[in-house]
């Protein structure tokens, strides 16, 4: 069996277990024993990979989420040929598909941790703030590249992230994606209106 075919290592399994827990119950809603059981790892191995314990593991999971989200953003902008409204629609549709496929259990782990964090969770809050900033910057960069004025692109990026998280939360608690669909329609219209008049017409996104 080649290294490419090897199963995930213990560290990766621990991160995956924490990530799944964050999506469904949040940071404080899961205990170490459950995480270890899910990952199939003994307690000593956790502290070998993550000396800071549960908090350090959560920070690694948050970093993994940011990497996944930004990679997905890059992919949808490429699929949409740089057309920001079409890329946004693809991004939102992907989140909607994941939520529906999970039976409305798998929300955004960043929002879940942010909502339950306390002033004492300094490391978690710092990681979340940096993560949200990274996503906003990636969106703003792509919209500015499409011709939207940079200041406007930054404002739109902040609105998009806020609306994305709020729509996902509403859809999850209602077990209905209508809020996400309505939010997507409003945001894509706003993005199109923000494009310069000389911008090329949107191209059909590849499925």
Express each pLDDT in 188-203 by its tens digit: 999 999 999 865 555 5
105 vs 36, 156, 157, CA distance in Å?
A: 21, 28, 26
CATH number at 102 reads 1.10.357.10
Is residue 31 classed exposed, middle or buried when 0-12, 13-18 and 19+ CB atoms within 10 A define those classes? exposed
Sign of CA dihedral 82, 84, 87, 91: positive
Q: Report percent pLDDT > 70 for the chain.
A: 91
3-state secondary structure of 199: coil
Average pLDDT over residues 1-19: 71
Residues 23, 112 contacting (CB under 8 angstroms)? yes
Instruction: Name the token pair of 120.
Output: 């004492």
Q: What is the pLDDT of residue 5?
A: 38
Answer yes or no: is 100 within a domain.
yes
Residues 154, 194 contacting (CB under 8 angstroms)? no
User: What is the rounded distance in angstroms from the CA atom of residue 41 to the CA atom of residue 29?
Assistant: 19
Q: What does the chain come to in residues?
A: 207
Q: How many helices and strands in the chain, by DSSP H and E?
A: 9, 0
Range of 82's domain? 63-194
138-162: pLDDT as tens digits: 999 999 999 999 999 999 999 999 9
Number of neighbours of residue 48 by Cβ within 10 angstroms: 12
CA atoms within 13 A on the CB side of 168: 26
pTM score of the predicted model: 0.84
Answer yes or no: is 117 within a domain.
yes
User: What is the rounded distance in angstroms from the CA atom of residue 167 to the CA atom of residue 95?
Assistant: 10
Answer yes or no: is 20 within a domain.
no
* pLDDT above 50 for 6: no
Answer yes or no: is 11 within a domain.
no
Answer yes or no: is 82 within a domain.
yes
Answer yes or no: is 44 within a domain.
no
Number of structural domains (the chain) is 1
Answer yes or no: is 28 within a domain.
no
Answer yes or no: is 159 within a domain.
yes
């Amino acid at each position: 069996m080649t290294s490419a075919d090897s199963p995930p290592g213990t560290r990766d399994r621990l991160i995956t277990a924490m990530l799944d827990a964050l999506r469904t119950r949040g940071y404080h809603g899961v205990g170490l024993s459950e995480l270890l059981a899910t990952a199939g790892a003994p307690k000593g191995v956790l502290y070998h990979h993550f000396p800071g314990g549960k908090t350090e593991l959560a920070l690694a999971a948050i970093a993994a989420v940011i990497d996944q989200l930004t990679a997905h953003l890059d992919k949808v902008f490429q699929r949409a040929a740089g057309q920001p409204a079409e890329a946004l629609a693809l991004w939102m549709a992907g989140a909607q598909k994941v939520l529906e496929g999970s039976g409305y259990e798998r929300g955004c782990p960043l929002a879940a941790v942010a909502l339950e964090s306390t002033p004492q969770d300094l490391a978690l809050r710092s990681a979340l703030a940096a993560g949200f900033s990274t996503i906003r910057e990636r969106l703003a960069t792509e919209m500015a590249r499409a011709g939207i004025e940079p200041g406007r692109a930054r404002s739109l990026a902040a609105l998009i992230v806020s609306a994305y998280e709020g729509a996902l939360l509403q859809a999850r608690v209602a077990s209905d994606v209508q809020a996400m669909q309505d939010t997507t329609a409003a945001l894509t219209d706003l993005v199109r209106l923000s494009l310069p008049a000389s911008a090329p017409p949107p191209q059909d996104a590849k499925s």
